Structure 1
Amino acid sequence: MRERAIRIGDFSGYLGDRFSAVDEVLAGDPVDVLIGDYLAEITLAALSVRYRRDPARGYVEYFVDQLRPHLATLAERRVKVVTNAGGFHPAALASALRELIAAEGVALCVAHVEGDNVLDRLPAYQRAGHRLENLDSGAALAEWDAEPMAANAYLGGWGIAEALASGADIVVCGRVTDASLTSGPAAWWHGWGREDWDALAGAVLAGHIIECGPHATGGNFSGFTRVPGMLVPGFPIAEIDAAGSSVITKHDHDGGTVTTDTVTAQIVYEIQGPAYLNPDVTVHLDEVALELDGPDRVRVTGTTGSPPPPTTKVAVFGQLGHQVVNTVFVTGLDVDAKVDLLRAQIGRDVPEGVTELDITRIGTAAANPGTQWDATVGLRVMATAAEKAPLERFDAAARLGSLYLQSIPGYFHDGGAGLTSTPRPRIDYWPALLPMSEVPHRLALPDGSTVDVKPPVHTEPVAPQPVHAEPGKPVATGETRSAPLGLLAHARSGDKGGNSNVGVWVSDDRAWPWLRDTLSTEALRALVPECADLAVVRHEFPNLRAVHFVLRGLLGTGGSSNLRVDQVGKAVGEYLRAKHVTIPVELLPDEGGNHVAD
C-alpha cells in the first residue's frame, strides 16, 4: 500500500479518439498509469466482424502505433498502461505488443485479461437454464429474432489489479467496464481488499469521470463557449487517494478546463440513476459532492459503495437485417407541402419485404434566409429489410434519382456524397444478464500461465433505483419570462442500450429550487413530445443541483439498430436546453451576458 494518491491519466475515450493523445499526455504532467478506453457498446460488434473474417485480428490495431514511439519512455518512467484495446482478441494484441517490444529492445512486460468473450458459451448457458434476459424487456435471449454475432461480458478490475501486482507494465483487456481501467490500478496501488466498498466505489466514479477523455475538460460540454483552449481540449487525470476520494485535474499546459460543471457533466452521463452498477461494487451517487481544489482541480467526495449484484451485463449483438440510408434536400417556400409530396412519391410501390421506410425531416427553413443553406432542410430516407433482396428491388438511388423532373422545385442531393442502393448490415443489441460466477475471468501472463479471477464472494440483489417524489407545480414569486432552459442550465445526454439518459443541472444554489420544481416528469414529457408514450424515470442529485431522467425506449432496442438520425441520443440534452420554460427574471443573465450557469 502506498500513502500518496495514484495519478491516472486518460488518453482515449473511444475508438476514433485523437491518435496523438499518447504523445500529448507523455509530454504533459507526470502520471503513474495511463488508461485508454476504446470500446463503446457498438464497437465490439464492428471488431467482431474483423475477427470472424481474420482470426488474427479483432483488436484496435492502431493502438500499437500509438505506443510504438514511447516504449523506451514508458520503461524509463515506469509508467503503466492499461487499455481495453484488446477488443475481441486481447491475446493477439498482447502478442503484437510483445513482438514490438522485443524488436525495440525495451524491458516491458505485457499481460492480458480474457474471458469476456462468451459468444461460444451462449448455447451452453441456455441449456444450463440461464435465460440471458434482456435488461429492458425481461425477455429471454431465445426469443430474440437475431443470430448472436458477438457476446461480451463486462468484467471488473481485479484481473487488472492482479496483472499489475504480477509485474505487468502493459495490461491489455477486452470488455472490462470502462471504469475498471481506473479502479483496477487504484486497487493495486493502494492494496485494497475485495470488500473495501467505499474506496472501490470512489475509484469507479473517478474512472467514470475520466473514461471519456476530454468530456471532463470541456468537450461535449454545454458551456463550451467559455472553455479556454477548446480547439484542442486536453485529457484528464484522476488523483485517487487511499480512501477512494479523488481530485480530477488535467495536464497544466493543455487546452480545456476542469470545473465542477465539467465534472458534473460526466457524472450524469450514461448512468442508470443514483445506484451505478459495476461488477466489483455498487456505487451510490446520492451524496457525491464536488468542490474546487485550485485551478483546474475538482475534489470528488461522498461516494459510498455496497456489494455488487450477483449478475453482470453481457453485450450481445446480432444482425437484424439490412438497411439503406440516403439524404436529399428541400429548399424555400411550401416546405411542408414539398415534404408531403416527396413522402408519397418515395413511398409509392414499395417492394414486399421492405419492413420499414422512415423519412425524417431535419431542420426548419428560415423565414427570410440570408443564404441558400438557411432556406434548406434535409430529408433523410432510411429503408430496412430482413434480407438484402427487397432493398435491392427498392433501389433507393434510382428511386430518389428519378424524382428530379417529376417532383418538387428545388429538390437535390449532395453531389459530393452521391446516392446509394447498397444495403448495409443492421445490427441489433441485446443487453443480457448473466451470473458473474459463469464468466471465466482470467489473467494471462507472458510465461503462458493463467490466473483465475474469482467472482465476488458477497453480492446483493439489484435493488430498485431510489424514487424521488415529483415536485409540485412551480410557484412564481416575482417577474418571470419565457426563455430557453439552456440560459440557466447545463445538460448532457447519452445512451444505455435502447434508453437515453439526460442530466440537467445548474451551477448556482439559487437556481436549484427552480430547476427541481420546473423539471418534473410531466414537464419533461411536455418539453420532449418524443417521450409522450415512453416510460420516463426521474432522479434528483441535490448536491450536484441536478435532475436526471432515463427515457426508456427512446433509442429503440439500441443505437446500432434504431431509425433515429441521432442514433445514440447525444443531442437530446442540447435539444432540451433549447426548449423555452418560464424563468424568474432575477435568475436570467445580466446586461453583461453573465449567466447563473457560468
Structure 2
Amino acid sequence: MTREPIRVANFSGYFGDRRSAVDEAMAGDRFDVLVGDYLAEITLAALSAAYQRDPRRGYVDYFVDQVRPHLAAIADRGIKVVTNAGGFHPAGLAAALRDEIAAAGVELRVAHVDGDNILDELPRLRRDGHRFDNLDGGAPLADWAATPFAANAYLGGWGVAAALDSGADIVVCGRVTDASLTVGPAAWWHGWHASDFDALAGAVVAGHIIECGPHAVGGNFSGFLDIPHRTVPGFPIAEIAADGSCVVTKHARDGGAVTRDTVTAQIMYEIQGPVYLNPDVTVRLDDLRVRDVGPDRVAVSGALGGPPPHTTKVAIFGPIGFSVVNTVFVTSPHIEEKIALIRDQLMPGLPDGVTLDLTPIGTPAADPESQWAATVALRVMATAPTADALAEADLARRLGSLYLQGIPGYYHDGAAGLHSSPRPRIDYWPGLLPLTVLDHRAVLDDGRRVAAAIPPTTDVVAQPVHPEPREAPLPDRVTRAPLGLVAHARSGDKGGNSNVGIWTRDPRVWLWLRGFLSSDELRRLLPEAKDLDVDRHEFPELQAVHFVIRGLLGTGGSSNTRVDQVGKAIGEYLRSRQVLIPDDLLAGDDSDRDPTTEEQR
C-alpha cells in the first residue's frame, strides 16, 4: 500500500545557522522528520581539530542545547530526528543525547551512523593500492604535500534508513551527504529498495533543496526584494511522495516565501551539471520540472535515477601553513599607485617563505559625495609555511610603521586594530574510494550494528556535452543594462571549483539568455576566469544556463586567498555586469530599469 508523502522539515543549513530553528519548527506546521545539516567541508576539519584536542568532543555541542527542551514533545508526537551534527564523533553525540533523554525521563532511542571516518585506515588503504585520486585533477594522494588530519567518506542514506527501521527515534550521523539526511527517512518511510533509482533520485533532489535551510525560503536569493517578511525567513519542509516527487513548502507562521525561483536557486546551488552524483544513485536533472501549485507550495518532479558510481568522495584535510590578515584603507585619487607603494614598503626584509597578497576591495566614485565613496579597503594577507615565519614577519608592526612614511591618507580601523596572530591554513583533497571498501552501518543503542544496504549495481555517467551557442546578431534596439534586470543567479563551491546558475522565468528571456551566455561571454564578464576551464550546461525545463569554473577557488575555500573564499557572490557580480539586452525583453517593467543605463539605438 502506498503511504502518504513523508513531511521532512529542515532546521539547520550549516554550523552557525539560527539556533532558534528547532524551537521554530516545533511550534510550526506538522511534520514527520526533523533534519539538520551542519557540515560544510571545512566544518568537519574544524571539528576534527576539536576531537584531537579532546576525544570526548568533535561533534556540534550546541545541537544538544537546541533539542533538549523538546525531547518530551518529540517523543509525544512521534517525530524522528536525523542530523549530521555528530561530525567527527557521532558516537559521542549519541551518548550525550542518551544522557539528556534519561534526565528528561522520556522514551527515545538514539542510534548513530558509522563508517565515514577513515583517517586511521588511510595507511592500510593506501598499502592495499587505493590511490585516493583527486576528483578534479586525477593525481594520487601520494602527490599531496600535506599530512592528512581528517579523512571522511561521503555516505549515502541507507545507514539512516537502517537505524530508523530498527526503531531509532534520533539518528546521529557524521559525513553523510547533505541530501542523505532526507533520502534515508524517505527510503525508510516508503519502503524503497536500493534499486528504486528514480524514487531515490527524487529524494536526493528534495534533500538538496531543503539541505540549506532558509535558502529555499528566500534566503541568499537574488530576488530578495520580492520576498515578504524577509528579515527572518523560515525553514523549508519537503513533502516527498512514494515516487520521489515532492512539494516544497514552509511553516505557515514563518517569514520568507517558497516560489519557483527560490527553489530553482537552490537546485542550481553547488552542482556540477545535469548529472548529480550521490552514493545511492546517479541523478539526472535534465528534465527536472518546478511549478507553483499554491501559496508557498512548489512541486518538483522529473528527476531520473540510475546506478551510482562505484566510488564515493573522501574529504581529506591537512595543514599547509599559516596566515595573518589585516585591512587598511586607501582614499582616491591615485588608488593603484598608492597600493603599489604600500606593497613596495611591506616587502623588504620579509623572511623566507612569507608571501603577501594585497586585494583592493571596491572602486572609488568618480566624484565622491562622501569620504567613504572615495575609499577602497585594502586587504593584506601574509602566508607562510610556519607560524614562526609569520611571527618574524610581524605584519601588524609593518603596517603600523607606515603612517609617517607611506601614502597620503593612510589609516586602519582603530576600533578593530591590527594584529599578527597567525591562523592555520587547511588544504582540501577530494579523493575517490570504492564504496565497497567502506563499513557503512547503523549502530543501535543496544550495541547492535546493522549494515547499510548497498546499490545492486554501479555505473559511470559523464556530464552531457552541450554545444556552445552560435553568436547571433543583435536586434536593432538594445539597451546596455545589468544582466540582473532579466535573470536570477546563484553561485557556490565544489572544492576548488565555483559554480553559477543563471535562469529566468520568462520564455522570451530564456531564448536570448541561452544564445548570449557562452563560455567565452562568461569569461568576459568574469575576468578571473579568463584563463580557466569552464564547463557549460543548459537546463531547458528550468530555463537556466549553468557553469562550472574550474580552479577559480584554488584547491578549496579553506586554503585559497580570495576574499570571497567559496564564491558565494559570483552570481550577484555577474548580475551586476552591464550587457546589451534587447529592448523588447525590458519593455513593460520600467520600475526595475536603471535610469543611469547607457542606451544604444
- Which TM-score band applies after superposition, normalised by the shorter structure? over 0.9
TM-score (norm 1): 0.98
> Aligned partners of 1:496, 1:169: CA distance in 2, in Å?
32
Q: Equivalent residue of 2:23, what SS?
A: helix
User: Which residue, out of 478, 481, 491, partners 1:480?
Assistant: 478
> Aligned partners of 1:89, 1:265: CA distance in 2, in Å?
33
Q: CA deviation at 1:455?
A: 3.0
The residue number in structure 1 matching 2:425 is 426
Q: CA deviation at 1:369?
A: 2.3
Q: Equivalent residue of 2:541, what SS?
A: helix
The residue number in structure 1 matching 2:393 is 394
> Aligned partners of 2:421, 2:428: CA distance in 1, in Å?
23
Q: Deviations over 1:171-216 (max 9, x none)?
A: 0000000000001000000000110000000000000000000000
TM-score (norm 2): 0.97
The residue number in structure 2 matching 1:370 is 369
> Aligned partners of 2:15, 2:197: CA distance in 1, in Å?
31
> Aligned partners of 2:182, 2:132: CA distance in 1, in Å?
28
> Aligned partners of 1:455, 1:144: CA distance in 2, in Å?
31
Q: CA deviation at 1:323?
A: 1.0
Counterparts of residues 18-167 of structure 1 (less than 5 Å): 18-167=18-167
Counterpart AA for 1:316: I
Counterpart AA for 1:78: G
> Aligned partners of 2:181, 2:587: CA distance in 1, in Å?
41
The residue number in structure 2 matching 1:379 is 378
Q: CA deviation at 1:565?
A: 0.5
The residue number in structure 2 matching 1:444 is 443
User: Which residue, out of 507, 510, 524, partners 1:526?
Assistant: 524
Q: Equivalent residue of 2:202, what SS?
A: helix
Q: Equivalent residue of 1:276, what SS?
A: strand
Counterpart AA for 1:515: L
> Aligned partners of 1:215, 1:475: CA distance in 2, in Å?
37
Counterpart AA for 2:379: R
The residue number in structure 2 matching 1:409 is 408
Counterpart AA for 2:107: A
Q: Deviations over 1:16-69 (max 9, x none)?
A: 000000000111100000000000011000000000000000000000000011
Counterpart AA for 1:108: L
> Aligned partners of 1:454, 1:118: CA distance in 2, in Å?
19
Counterpart AA for 2:360: R
Q: CA deviation at 1:368?
A: 2.4
Q: CA deviation at 1:594?
A: 5.5
Q: Could you tell which deviates more after superposition, 160-169 or 549-558?
A: 160-169
Q: CA deviation at 1:348?
A: 2.5
The residue number in structure 2 matching 1:494 is 492
The residue number in structure 1 matching 2:572 is 574
Q: Equivalent residue of 2:149, what SS?
A: strand
- Does residue 357 of structure 1 match 2:356? yes
Q: CA deviation at 1:550?
A: 0.2
Counterpart AA for 1:564: R
Q: Equivalent residue of 2:480, what SS?
A: strand
The residue number in structure 2 matching 1:169 is 169
> Aligned partners of 1:590, 1:142: CA distance in 2, in Å?
59
Q: Is the 8 A contact 1:9 1:34 kept in 2?
A: yes
Q: Is the 8 A contact 1:2 1:189 kept in 2?
A: no
Q: Deviations over 1:120-167 (max 9, x none)?
A: 111111100000010111111111000001000000000101111111
The residue number in structure 2 matching 1:215 is 215
> Aligned partners of 1:442, 1:415: CA distance in 2, in Å?
54
Q: CA deviation at 1:589?
A: 5.5
Q: CA deviation at 1:402?
A: 0.3
> Aligned partners of 1:242, 1:193: CA distance in 2, in Å?
12
Q: Deviations over 1:399-454 (max 9, x none)?
A: 00000111011111112221111211110000000000111111100001111224
Q: Is the 8 A contact 2:194 2:454 kept in 1?
A: no
Q: Equivalent residue of 1:121, what SS?
A: helix
Paired residues, what number? 593
Q: Is the 8 A contact 2:247 2:297 kept in 1?
A: yes
Counterpart AA for 2:60: V
Counterpart AA for 1:538: R
> Aligned partners of 2:73, 2:409: CA distance in 1, in Å?
59
Q: Equivalent residue of 1:370, what SS?
A: coil
> Aligned partners of 1:8, 1:594: CA distance in 2, in Å?
37
The residue number in structure 1 matching 2:187 is 187
Q: Is the 8 A contact 2:218 2:256 kept in 1?
A: yes
Counterparts of residues 251-262 of structure 1 (less than 5 Å): 251-262=251-262
Counterpart AA for 2:101: I
Counterpart AA for 1:416: A
Counterparts of residues 513-552 of structure 1 (less than 5 Å): 513-552=511-550
Counterpart AA for 2:129: G
Counterpart AA for 1:455: I
Q: Is the 8 A contact 1:474 1:514 kept in 2?
A: no
RMSD: 1.1
Q: Is the 8 A contact 2:382 2:390 kept in 1?
A: yes
Q: Is the 8 A contact 1:487 1:589 kept in 2?
A: no
Q: Is the 8 A contact 1:366 1:374 kept in 2?
A: yes
> Aligned partners of 2:170, 2:548: CA distance in 1, in Å?
37
The residue number in structure 1 matching 2:307 is 307
Counterpart AA for 1:153: A
Q: Equivalent residue of 1:544, what SS?
A: coil
Q: Is the 8 A contact 2:159 2:453 kept in 1?
A: no
Structure 1 spans left out of the alignment, 5+ residues: none
Q: Equivalent residue of 1:261, what SS?
A: helix
> Aligned partners of 1:253, 1:479: CA distance in 2, in Å?
46
Structure 2 spans left out of the alignment, 5+ residues: 594-601
Q: Could you tell which deviates more after superposition, 367-376 or 538-547?
A: 367-376
Q: Equivalent residue of 2:74, what SS?
A: helix
Q: Equivalent residue of 2:316, what SS?
A: strand
